[in-house]
Structure 1
Amino acid sequence: MNSEEEFFDAETGLESDDSCEVSFKDATQENGVWERRKKLPAEMISRNNFSVWNILKKCIGMELSKIAMPVVFNEPLSFLQRISEYMEHTHLIHKACSLSDSIDRMQVVAAFAVSAVASQWERTGKPFNPLLGETYELTREDEGYRLISEQVSHHPPISAFHAESLKKEFEFHGSIYPKLKFWGKSVEAEPKGTMTLELLKHKEAYTWTNPMCCVHNIILGKLWIEQYGTVEIVNHRTGDKCVLNFKPCGMFGKELHKVEGHIQDKSKKKRRVMYGKWTECMYSVDPKVYEAYKKSEKKSGGESKKLRQERSCEAEEADEMPEVQETVTVIPGSALLWRITSRPAHSAQMYNFTSFAITLNELEPGMERLLSPTDCRLRPDIRAMESGDIDLASSEKERLEEKQRAARRERSKDEEEWSTRWFQMGTNPHTGAEDWLYTGGYFDRNFTDCPNIY
């Protein structure tokens, strides 16, 4: 599958070793073929009559995970479902598995790491905080993988996930501890946690951490998002490393969305240069070609000072989003590694969801008996918000949070520790650091010990 293909195409189904294996398809039938849905049950709820400032004004510089936010500022997905969006461009993993050269594999893995944050572009709604013990499973037979995630800790909030190829070609796993801070006009998110991608055929493991994310104009002006920071991807078998710099907006907005970096081998020789935008595409090029291009560009003078000043993203009232060039300037001789999948025309009315994200909370009739009772799709507050009932979503969110607090009080009274179901704390064999690792068994579908959290 190439990056231009859409992810809601109909499935025909594949054979599986699991007798209870389930395909997630929308309950819409056209010409006898099941298709995933292409829109949400209701359009996005308006936030015009709500002020986030009234909630956040006392929280400047604080970590926000313990701050209760009105449901209207959410999007109708759990953070566990948001994590599964890393898998939207799984075709890149399949591509990496098929390549014989380690540098070629690294550049495709690096493109996958960039693509994993691409769905966050213009997604200014906050995902629902998962309840302790909440899970989400996603099986995509058309893309050849299945995923399970679990909320393994509430304070601090930690989400663990594990995705695996149906043909045993790869495993992709990690745990995320998102730290959110409010800085007056913006909210900064630090996605602490390590991503690990294992290409089983090549006996390779790649690890990296995601970049920082900042949502601007929380109080005033149009919301906009930037990703920034250095991402290092390490191939633990070969010693190859890719260093990617997600560039911050900067004073004149020239660097907004840009990603630049290079791949070096174990002797630290630069082998490829990578460039592009995390909102759009990534290319790679030979380092000598890149340097020659930059020298010729420098001689030509580049942009005038006056033009740079006109593009300044400084403003007195709000951090205005600078104008964004729609395309990346392609250096002759470059290879396209990845291009973002176009969003549906009605995306702005659907919380700026991608076609892939629109499908994540769909629930086919009869699916309840196959899902774990802790699955996000069964959360009544998310289901109500998806259907446009903000009052029911708010009351259900409060009920679930109080039920969670009551359960915690009961455990405290009995001096009982919370026990995770599908993940256990262990040691990442590639980094040596503590990590939440999948213990297996979820797809046997024995859910008798799952907690009643809804």
Structure 2
Amino acid sequence: MINEDEFFDAVTGLDSDESCEGVSEASFKDAVLFDSKSQKNNGSVPQENGIKKHRTSLPAPMFSRNTISIWSILKKCIGLELSKITMPIAFNEPLSFLQRITEYMEHTYLLNKACLLPDSTARMQAVAAFAVSAVASQWDRTGKPFNPLLGETYELTREEQGFRLISEQVSHHPPVSAFHAESLAGDFVFHGSIYPKLKFWGKSVEAEPKGTITLELLKHSEVYTWSNPYCCVHNIILGKLWIEQYGTVEIINHSTGDKCVLTFKPCGMFGKELHKVEGYIQDKSKKKLCVIYGKWTECMWSVDPQVYESHKKSEKKDNKKQKNEELEGAVNDDADDMPEIQETVSVIPGSTLLWRIDSRPPQSAVMYNFTNFAMALNELSPGMEAVLAPTDCRFRPDIRAMENGDMDKASIEKERLEEKQRAARKDRAKNDEEWSTRWFQNGTNPYTGSQDWIYSGGYFNRNYQDLPDIY
């Protein structure tokens, strides 16, 4: 079996210990020379003012993959679904997909805010901002999360943010991840099941969002549902990797009939629309109540519909001449060039800020472009081993090895775990046994009528008997 160093050398002609392309030597050293005390405690730090402080870096910087070619792997997969294709571990990031979907909760304060707002339109604005913020962490995150093993779980409790979450990999083929989060104060329940379809289109990989997300604001007896936009990673074969989100997201308030329609705009020929999100909130009679606009990588605002339309008309006149000039300079290229957009969101006078993205830690560029929230997701502090289920992602040896910078061990462990999973599936088939989920049950979403995985409860009772041995 070829190890990661040999793979890297073979496809790039470079040594695997070279620093990441585009990252200064100083930044690279800063990422490596982090506090030794944090390293001994896996990055965790003591409590401060009664609130636990989580680690802000990983034990080791990322493995350089910027010039690795995967054409030899993907050239036969154009137009096909990629869930059954084994990818080199160099293209992963040290998180399970169960941990990745937990990043929906990074901006939980928006849900807490929605619970306090007396007006249904204001609540929809907060929910819409939360839906956009849920994909914000994907900006520049070109690494692939590890596919969860069947029966794998992930638990996250954040007392400072006021929630706890449990997720479980409930199906392997097709891969389905179910999650359930709840407010510690009893204000909301947030749940769903996700099964993205990945397809390779020659120069890009597209993730089609499958699955419904449901939010219940218990105090207001309101239920919202929506699905995520499409996500595309460009320049898989040639050029700099970059991410685009596009498609229409409809957030429905099943209690009032209000609807928020958000359009994640495709990049366009010159990148003018890159990262832009525009939409509106309408009531059950289809009257527009407000317009929402911004960028999913930056911030979201709301404004009165009439003010928005007046602004757009004046803006259209100013842009017409500029567009004609740009058409004259259009060029074609083999790579999908990422437009060099310098502008921030142009705020319309009279707008109200709904959400603004948090800044990333200074060492993020050499640590998989993780946010502060993502940095702590695989943290295993002293004492957690006695509390977590043995199926928790934090105990996966391949992810732990990759996080620690040991790519050879990570690759070996990943192959071992996958082979163990295949052997267990064969044993079940031989004995005519069916897989049984532990914390979620297959059912119907009562608000959409679609198939969904519903949390059956009991995880936080800490009864971990009869859990599968998957690691």
Residue matched to 1:45: 63
- Residues 301 and 117 of structure 1, relative CA distance in 2, 3 Å threshold: closer
TM-score where L is the length of structure 2: 0.89
CA-CA distance at 1:311 after TM superposition: 8.2
Match of 1:62 in 2: 80
1:346-369 C-alpha deviation (Å, 9 max, x unpaired): 110110000000000000122111
> Take 1:295 and 1:222, find their aligned partners in 2: how far apart are those partners?
36
Question: How far apart, in 2, do the equivalents of 1:199 and 1:367 lie?
Answer: 30
- 1:80 and 1:303 mapped to 2: Cα distance? 48
Candidates 433, 447, 451, aligned match of 1:434:
451
Which residue of structure 2 lines up, in the alignment, with residue 226 of structure 1?
244
User: 1:392-434 deviations in whole A, cap 9, x for unaligned?
Assistant: 0000000000000000000000110000000001111111211
How far residue 31 of structure 1 moved from its aligned partner, in angstroms, is 7.9
Establish whether residue 356 from structure 1 lines up as the match of residue 373 from structure 2: yes
Choose from 119, 125, 128 the match for 1:101.
119
Match of 1:336 in 2: 353
Matches within 5 A, 1:405-424: 405-424=422-441
Q: One-letter code of the match for 2:308? A: Y
Q: Is the CA contact 1:253–1:311 (under 8 Å) kept in the aligned structure 2?
A: no
Which of 97, 115, 120 is matched with 2:133 structurally? 115
2:202 maps to which of 166, 174, 184: 184
Following superposition, the deviation at residue 326 of structure 1 comes to 3.8
CA distance in 2, matches of 1:75, 1:301: 41
Given that residues 276 and 294 in structure 2 are in contact (C-alpha distance below 8 angstroms), is that contact kept between their aligned partners in structure 1?
yes
Please say if residues 79 and 129 of structure 1, whose CA atoms lie closer than 8 Å, have aligned partners that are also in contact: yes
Matched residue, 1:241 = 259
Instruction: Give the conservation status (yes or no) of the 8 Å contact 1:252–1:311.
Output: no
* Structure 2: distance between partners of 1:365 and 1:303: 62
- The partner residue of 1:159 within 174, 177, 195 is 177
1:307 Cα offset (Å): 4.8
* Cα distance change on mapping 1:310 and 1:401 into 2, 3 Å: farther
Alignment of 1:384-395 (within 5 A): 384-395=401-412
Equivalent residue for 1:380? 397
1:254 match: 272
User: Partners of 1:49 and 1:286 in 2: how far apart?
Assistant: 47
Which consecutive residues of structure 2, in runs of 5 or more, have no partner in the other structure? 1-40
How many residues were matched structurally?
A: 430
User: Do the aligned partners of residues 48 and 216 (structure 1) sit closer, same or farther apart at CA in structure 2, a change above 3 Å counting?
Assistant: closer
Measured in 1, the distance between the counterparts of 2:343 and 2:42 equals 34
CA pair 31-183 structure 1, distance change in 2 beyond 3 A: closer
Give aligned-pair identity as a percent: 74
Q: Does 1:279 align with 2:297?
A: yes
Give the CA deviation at 1:32.
Answer: 9.6
Between 1:30-39 and 1:437-446, the stretch displaced more is 30-39
One-letter code of the match for 1:130?
A: P
The correspondence for 2:419, drawn from 394, 402, 423, is 402
- Is 1:78–2:96 an aligned residue pair? yes
**Residue 369 in structure 1 maps to residue 412 in structure 2:** no
Contact 2:100 2:145 in 1 (8 A): yes
Matched residue type, 1:436: W
Task: Provide the secondary structure at the position in 2 that maps to 1:329.
Answer: coil
Give the counterpart of 2:308 among 267, 283, 290: 290
Q: Which stretch of the first structure deviates more once superposed, 374-383 or 287-296?
A: 287-296
**Whole-angstrom CA distance in 1 between matches of 2:327 and 2:362:** 33
> Which amino acid in 2 is paired with 1:254?
K
Q: CA deviation at 1:179?
A: 0.3
In 1, distance between residues paired with 2:449 and 2:398?
39
Question: What's 2:344 paired with?
Answer: 327
Confirm or deny: 8 A CA contact 1:119 1:354 kept in the other structure.
yes
CA distance in 2, matches of 1:343, 1:283: 21
8 Å Cα contact 2:230-2:245 kept in structure 1: yes
Structure 1: unaligned runs, 5 residues or longer: 1-23
Query: Amino acid of the residue matched to residue 153 of structure 2?
Result: T
RMSD: 1.7
> Structure 1 residue 251: deviation in Å?
1.4
Give the 3 Å change call, closer, same or farther, for CA 266–220 of structure 1 in structure 2: same
Pairwise CA distance, 1:30:
7.7
The answer (yes or no) to whether the contact 1:170–1:199 under 8 Å persists in 2 is yes
User: Cα gap change, 1:307/1:372 in structure 2, threshold over 3 Å: closer, same or farther?
Assistant: farther
Specify the alignment match of 1:4 in structure 2.
Answer: none
Shift in CA distance, 324/211, structure 1 to aligned 2, threshold 3 Å: same
TM-fit CA distance, 1:50: 3.4
Q: Deviation of residue 49 (structure 1)? A: 6.2
CA pair 396-302 structure 1, distance change in 2 beyond 3 A: same
Find the aligned partners of 1:129 and 1:270 in 2 and give their Cα distance.
41
Equivalent residue, structure 2, for 1:132 = 150
- Structure with more helix by fraction: 2
Alpha carbons of 1:31 and 1:266: their partners in 2 closer, same or farther (altered >3 Å)? closer
